[in-house]
Amino acid sequence: MVPRIRPSLIGLPSYVAGRKIPGAALLASNECPYGLLPAVAARLAGTTAAAFRYPDMTCGALVDALAAHHGVAADRIAVGAGSTEVCGQLLHAVVGPGDEVIFGWRSFEAYPLLTAVAGGTAVRVPLRRDTLDLDAMLAAVTPRTRLVFVCNPNNPTGTAVGADDLRRFVAAVPDDVLVVVDEAYREYADPALVPDAVDLFGERPNVVVLRTFSKAYALAGLRVGYCLGAPEVIRQVRKTQTPFSVATIAQEAAVAALGEVVEVTRRARRTVAERDRMTSRLRELGYDVPSSQANFVWLPLGPDSAGFADQCLAGGVVTRPFPGEGVRVTVGLADENDRFLDLAEKLR
């Protein structure tokens, strides 16, 4: 006998992780290319001895540090093992069997998987010109809708929605529907163009903002993410975390990383300059590249996407293809980006 699996899971594609090929330029996973922050490396060296104990389940020191960082009370923050776990926690807090979860598509590939795991029904709203179509997402809201993901900037297209559009959207969504603004790439976005949803909706009980240490804070391997929201929501979201999911070294590293804001900003600026250089060059070569507010660029190559990514791989550059749609290329170190641009020129 084979155990019976939920039908809603069977048809779903698995999460595709970027390949780690020694010697290749790893431009598939939107990681920070500059390595651990210096203070994080120093802190990690001193914390491994405590690993035989369970971690602080409440992530108390980290939550306090985040509260100070954002200038909010500690009861407005919930932490998880990466913001992917926090996405799941939010879903488990509000979604029951058959409830609907809306998100743009294509967007973060974890949304449909986590929605299915939570027992919800995914409602994918097609992007318009590679950008979230907030009007169409609003039109998709029904009495069964419990949660809407707004990925801003959007992964994998890098495009963002502005403050006015987002404000209008949130004002029109019913108060009992949770709006989750996923700001995983916040540090790479131009604050004049892309709103900070913490500033915009800090007091609104049905808006939660997701942030992560995996991208600009260069901690993808230690798994720390968090959300900011109203205390009554945060209290419930904390209950849906897998107990002890954030390891002690991850908590310590995240606290140390928060103390390195100057270096984080410096690195993010460098990545933004490289991103804009890649975008200009790719457009010069005739590629259609939407303006990115994140640490990657999107090439909407349609049917050529898989072949293009294969050719890059053969040339020693790992990218992330979405077959039939496009290829996402993470902004790496300058020489890695040059390797990619050389290939892009040859493949034109």
The binding site for ligand PLP (CB under 6 A) comprises: 30, 82-84, 108, 151, 155, 182, 184, 212, 214-215, 220, 225
Q: How far is the CB of 234 from ligand PLP (least distance, A)?
A: 17
Tell me the C-alpha distance between 6 and 8, whole Å: 5
CA angle at 327 for the pair 347 and 190, rounded to the nearest 5°: 115
Which of 155, 241 has the CB closer to ligand PLP? 155
Which of 225, 321 has the CB closer to ligand PLP? 225
Q: Encoding tokens for residue 98? A: 């058959």
Tell me the C-alpha distance between 338 and 348, whole Å: 15
Q: How far is the CB of 182 from ligand PLP (least distance, A)?
A: 5
Q: How far is the CB of 180 from ligand PLP (least distance, A)?
A: 10
Q: How far is the CB of 330 from ligand PLP (least distance, A)?
A: 11
Tell me the C-alpha distance between 130 and 46, whole Å: 45
CB-based closest residue to ligand PLP: 82
With 0-12 CB in 10 A as exposed, 13-18 as middle and 19+ as buried, what is 4?
Answer: exposed
* Helix or strand holding residue 101 (H, E): strand 100-105
Which of 69, 281 has the CB closer to ligand PLP? 69
Tell me the C-alpha distance between 189 and 262, whole Å: 16
Q: How far is the CB of 185 from ligand PLP (least distance, A)?
A: 7
What are the angstrom distances between the C-alpha of 45 and each of 200, 318, 329?
Answer: 39, 30, 32
Tell me the C-alpha distance between 304 and 219, whole Å: 33
Beta-carbon contacts of 164 under 8 Å, excluding residues fewer than 6 positions away, are none
Which of 39, 220 has the CB closer to ligand PLP? 220
Q: How far is the CB of 87 from ligand PLP (least distance, A)?
A: 7
Which of 217, 341 has the CB closer to ligand PLP? 217
Q: How far is the CB of 82 from ligand PLP (least distance, A)?
A: 3
Which of 30, 206 has the CB closer to ligand PLP? 30
Which of 55, 153 has the CB closer to ligand PLP? 153
Q: How far is the CB of 225 from ligand PLP (least distance, A)?
A: 4
β-pair type (296-299, 326-330): antiparallel
Inter-residue contact 240 to 55 (CB < 8 Å): no
Which of 131, 343 has the CB closer to ligand PLP? 131
First vs last C-alpha separation in the chain: 52
**Which residues are registered as beta bridge partners of 328?**
298, 320
Which of 107, 341 has the CB closer to ligand PLP? 107
Q: How far is the CB of 158 from ligand PLP (least distance, A)?
A: 10
Helices (H), the chain: 7-10, 38-47, 60-70, 82-94, 110-117, 134-139, 163-172, 197-201, 231-239, 248-258, 261-284, 305-314, 334-346
Inter-residue contact 300 to 130 (CB < 8 Å): yes
